[in-house]
Amino acid sequence: MAYGGPESLEEIPGYLADIRAGRPTPRRVLEEITENYRAIGGRSPLLEVTSRQVDALAEELGDDYRCYLGMRHWAPWIED
């Protein structure tokens, strides 16, 4: 389980809406966060990094266990 993060600049408003429980994000904050994501390639690296961790854990544990990837605030959702 991890917090989650947008996979593109276009997903940032929806991601922030989820984190903020639907409350509007001030324009200044949205612009700042968008620029921060743009500086690191326009997407969060969290999904890729966490996915590699899940794969490594699954390999270490073997077939007796199942490992799942779930994010709190973005896809893939924990509920899924």
- Check residue 76 and give its pLDDT: 93
The helix-helix angle for 27-39 and 12-19 (nearest 10°) equals 120
Residues 2-19 have pLDDT tens digits of 889 999 999 999 999 999
pLDDT at 1 over 80: no
Q: Go through the domains of the chain in sequence order and give each one's CATH number.
A: 1-80 (3.40.50.1400)
- Average pLDDT, whole number, for the chain? 95
- Per cent of the chain over pLDDT 70 is 99
- Per cent of the chain over pLDDT 90 is 94
User: Could you write out the three-class secondary structure of the chain?
Assistant: CECCCCCCHHHHHHHHHHHCCCCCCCHHHHHHHHHHHHHCCCCCCHHHHHHHHHHHHHHHHCCCCCCCCCECCCCCECCC
pTM: 0.82
